[in-house]
A and B are shown apart, each in its own frame.
Chain A
């Protein structure tokens, strides 16, 4: 297992451990994307985020990597802070694993600053998701009464 993989693995496991109900056993172990879609999504998102952290911190790439994971976090009953806490979980992992990693990766200066920036982006995304929840709730109600609304619109009483 190379260093990056080890970091990712730790990040996935610790994120999964932050889930309520002791869900880590399922989330971090099962690799079938259809049996364990949550775990799979965490893994994929975190892998992409890690790559960006080590590379250019491309805003678009980060945004699309954050989207799936934040969507999940936003509906798991976390408080807003807890929903994005997975980002800061990376700090101790890097501290722990960095000495064992080759220096080439270290040179990329994955410092707390980048992680903090990511955390801010994650928090924004989470707010967006929560707002969207309110919207889709309203849309659902609207769809449910669609016919009546159209009847009323067409034939004013």
Chain B
């Protein structure tokens, strides 16, 4: 039942879009004001959150080392999983961000079945990776709506993405993948007993919003067709801050737009900030060169210690009995001479 409130929230947004678009004022509010506001919240919020992290010091160098360290010259270090240089840490981060290295690490012993089994967690890696990549491709493809003339890489990307040429309009691979992976990721939260136990309502919210966005997008392309040229006109208007509300704004488009706005506005308040946070994670983005290069803690304040002199004072008799050399006594002998 944890999924109920987020589901209702998403349905409410859809309802708003459908009902609110009937009057001109409503249309202006939902198609112009809300996207601007949402985008502003997103930008400000995202930057604020990242900047706040970046401003907090990293007092200690605490990389999680996932392979052999660089020590003796004849031992081969794991330069990606346990980097000893900044460049190595950069490559480790690249691997983490582009290929989800750590998630891939979920190996599984295969003693029981004696056959190669792709474990559920490899599916998680595959699902997560495919989802994020197709999301990126889709976002880039959408650039053609906001930029005139359309940048070459966007056209090329769209052509590649639609390379299978199934039906008209072409079915994009990324659309299929993102829908599939979203369904998988959502189903996993429901079906995997552990994932279900630890999921909270907000975990479903992001998934439902994304599912709504993808579904409405696909509907616009294949079922309730919209006038793409007119939408581009509208989007261009938004982009140059001269929005024109046109008849292209059909309810389905408004649903799509409003869900995207909701996601954008919600983004900085949510776990979706992992997008920015992953770059700053001190267990991943630091080189394991702790002993060769001193890491400075900006707030390294002094602490109360028990000094050698105090220690010697306390145990003087015992040190004497044991015939261990004494500092203070040495000093007395020197002055005695």
In the assembled complex, the CB of B97 is this many whole angstroms from the nearest CB of chain A, namely 27
In the assembled complex, the CB of B123 is this many whole angstroms from the nearest CB of chain A, namely 14
Residues of B within 8 A of A99 (CB): none
In the assembled complex, the CB of B118 is this many whole angstroms from the nearest CB of chain A, namely 13
Per DSSP, chain B at the interface is loop
Residues of B within 8 A of A32 (CB): 108-109, 112, 119
Across the two chains, which residue of chain A brings its CB closest to B110?
Answer: A32
In contact, B197 and A35 (Cβ under 8 angstroms):
no
Mask: chain B, 169-201; 1 = CB below 8 Å from A; 0 = not: 000000000000000000000000110010000
Residues of B within 8 A of A22 (CB): 197
Residues of B within 8 A of A114 (CB): none
Q: Does B111 contact A (CB under 8 A)?
A: yes
CB-CB contacts below 8 Å: A76-121 with B: none
User: How many A-B Cβ pairs are below 8 Å?
Assistant: 19
How distant is the Cα of A35 from the Cα of B111 in the complex, in angstroms? 12
How distant is the Cα of A34 from the Cα of B106 in the complex, in angstroms? 12
Size band of the interface chain A makes with B: under 10
In contact, A34 and B109 (Cβ under 8 angstroms):
yes
Per DSSP, chain A at the interface is loop
Size band of the interface chain B makes with A: under 10
In contact, A33 and B109 (Cβ under 8 angstroms):
yes
CB-CB contacts below 8 Å: B250-286 with A: none
In contact, B112 and A31 (Cβ under 8 angstroms):
yes
Which of the residues B108, B113, B193 comes within 8 Å of A35, measured between beta carbons? B108
Q: Does A26 contact B (CB under 8 A)?
A: yes
In contact, A25 and B109 (Cβ under 8 angstroms):
no
Which of the residues A26, A33, A34 comes within 8 Å of B194, measured between beta carbons? A26
In the assembled complex, the CB of A39 is this many whole angstroms from the nearest CB of chain B, namely 11
In the assembled complex, the CB of B105 is this many whole angstroms from the nearest CB of chain A, namely 13
How distant is the Cα of A99 from the Cα of B14 in the complex, in angstroms? 54
Q: Indicate whether A33 sits within 8 Å of B108 (C-beta atoms), given known contacts A25-B194, A25-B197, A26-B194.
A: no
How distant is the Cα of A26 from the Cα of B112 in the complex, in angstroms? 17
CB-CB contacts below 8 Å: A15-32 with B: 22, 25-26, 29, 31-32
In the assembled complex, the CB of B115 is this many whole angstroms from the nearest CB of chain A, namely 12
Residues of B within 8 A of A34 (CB): 109
Residues of B within 8 A of A29 (CB): 193
How distant is the Cα of A22 from the Cα of B112 in the complex, in angstroms? 25
CB-CB contacts below 8 Å: B102-144 with A: 108-109, 111-113, 119
Residues of A within 8 A of B109 (CB): 32-35
In the assembled complex, the CB of B120 is this many whole angstroms from the nearest CB of chain A, namely 9
In contact, B193 and A33 (Cβ under 8 angstroms):
no
Mask: chain A, 64-76; 1 = CB below 8 Å from B; 0 = not: 0000000000000
Mask: chain A, 25-52; 1 = CB below 8 Å from B; 0 = not: 1100101111100000000000000000
Residues of A within 8 A of B194 (CB): 25-26
Residues of A within 8 A of B112 (CB): 31-33
Q: Footprint of A on B, CB under 8 Å? A: 108-109, 111-113, 119, 193-194, 197
State the 8 A-B residue pairs at the shortest beta-carbon distance, nearest first. A25-B193, A32-B109, A34-B109, A32-B108, A31-B112, A33-B111, A25-B194, A33-B109
Provide 6 A-B residue pairs closer than 8 Å at the C-beta atoms, listed in order of the A residue.
A22-B197, A25-B193, A32-B108, A32-B112, A32-B119, A35-B108
Q: Footprint of B on A, CB under 8 Å? A: 22, 25-26, 29, 31-35
